[in-house]
Amino acid sequence: MSAPFQRHRLTPWILMAPQLGIVLVFFFWPALQAIEQAFYVEDAFGLSREFAGFANFQAVLSDKAYYQALGTTLIFSLAVALGAMSIALLLAVMADRVIRGARIYRTLLVWPYAVAPAVAGVLWLFLFDPTLGLISGLLGNIGIGWDHKLNGVQALALVIMASVWKQMSYNFVFFLAALQALPKSLLEAAAIDRAGPWRRFWTITFPLLSPTAFFLLVMNSVYAFFETFGTIDTVTSGGPGGATTTLVYKVYQDGFVGQDMGASAAQSVLLMALVGGLTWFQFRYLERKVQY
């Protein structure tokens, strides 16, 4: 016998239809198109196309620039995820201890998340502009020449900083919520059990935050892979010399600037597979360690 509500077979579908429609039209359809496109070579005007088998993939995988972009992406993603998470955790721990004016601090710390990626990029661009920038000027005063338009390492550092700054707020909100949900009595018990503040943090607080940290690691990886496009585009446009060209930026460059639709589609299929594999790996191996 089924419960009465289960008899309404149609209602759940009607309720889900708008969301399903959006996902189908804006996610699955383009994704399938990209996969299809990856197997064709198209002329620059999009007037004709020819089935090419795995030729697009072969071309991409034998291109040195692709491996450079892969390397850049891995360094960039790791730095962004770790940077954004550790700074956010530090800020959350400090904000959690604040009693007076706590809400003001929290609001201020959440603000960067409301800034559009391109705007964030422009802010950092101005701060570090080789000729006009405030911070580059200060760095020049202490003898560090800053020119991210010529120096690839500095350019990468700059987009990492901008991306970390932007993502930090998101992580902060989650870490703070997790910290405030920790039962106070656990930390009190640990204090009585002769654990000092430092030990309490590493043996009690940190392990108990690990489910949150895992969730954020997945979200930050996805963010670093895909959503930093706007920041990179405004700050460095992938340069100098491809030093800040991440995989997703290369997809855009080859496809929309270079008009090589086939190669671009092949890259995005590879990127999808890469992120899918990474997420699977995280769930398979890391999530086990964070259960308690």
Partner 1 sequence: MATLRLNGIRKRYPNGITALHDIDLDVVDGELIVVVGPSGCGKSTLLRTLAGLEAISDGELTINGRRVNELEPAERDIAMVFQNYALYPHMSVAGNMGYALKNRGMPKDEIRRRVAATAELLGLSELLERRPRQLSGGQRQRVAMGRAIVREPQVFLFDEPLSNLDAKLRVQMRLEIRRLQKRLGVTSVYVTHDQVEAMTLADRLVVMNAGRVEQCGTPMALYEQPATLFVASFLGSPAMNFLPVTVHRDGVVLPNGTQLALALPVAMPEGRVTNLGVRPEHLVEAASRPDTAAVLDVTVEMLEPLGADMLAYTRLSGLEEWLVVRLDGAHAAHEGQRLSLTFSLADCHVFDADGRRVSMTEGAAAKAQACQ
Cβ neighbours for 235, distance < 8 A, ≥ 6 positions apart: 121, 124, 125, 148, 155, 158, 159, 162, 244
Only segment of 49-57, 203-211, 215-223, 224-232 that touches partner 1 (CB under 8 A): 203-211
- Least CB distance from residue 51 to partner 1, whole Å? 55
Q: For residue 97, state whether it binds partner 1 (rule: CB under 8 A).
A: no
Q: For residue 8, state whether it binds partner 1 (rule: CB under 8 A).
A: no
Residue 113 exposed, middle or buried by CB count within 10 Å (0-12, 13-18, 19+): middle
C-alpha–C-alpha distance, residues 33 and 51, integer Å: 14
Residue 279 exposed, middle or buried by CB count within 10 Å (0-12, 13-18, 19+): middle
- Least CB distance from residue 187 to partner 1, whole Å? 9
Q: For residue 192, state whether it binds partner 1 (rule: CB under 8 A).
A: yes
Angle at alpha carbon of residue 241, lines to 152 and 233, rounded to 5° = 80
Q: For residue 185, state whether it binds partner 1 (rule: CB under 8 A).
A: yes
Applying CB under 8 A, among 183, 198, 284, 288 the residue interacting with partner 1 is 183
- Least CB distance from residue 194 to partner 1, whole Å? 4
Q: For residue 286, state whether it binds partner 1 (rule: CB under 8 A).
A: no
Q: For residue 102, state whether it binds partner 1 (rule: CB under 8 A).
A: no
Size of the site for partner 1 (CB under 8 A): 19
Tokens of 57: 């993939």
C-alpha–C-alpha distance, residues 279 and 219, integer Å: 9
Applying CB under 8 A, among 12, 24, 188, 273 the residue interacting with partner 1 is 188
Answer whether 110's CB lies under 8 Å from 92's CB. no
C-alpha–C-alpha distance, residues 284 and 243, integer Å: 32
Q: For residue 235, state whether it binds partner 1 (rule: CB under 8 A).
A: no
Closer CB to partner 1, 50 or 193, in the complex: 193
Determine the 3-state secondary structure of 42 from DSSP: strand
Only segment of 120-128, 132-140, 147-155, 197-205 that touches partner 1 (CB under 8 A): 197-205
Q: For residue 5, state whether it binds partner 1 (rule: CB under 8 A).
A: no
For partner 1, the binding residues (CB under 8 A) are: 183, 185-186, 188-196, 199, 203-204, 207-208, 210, 292
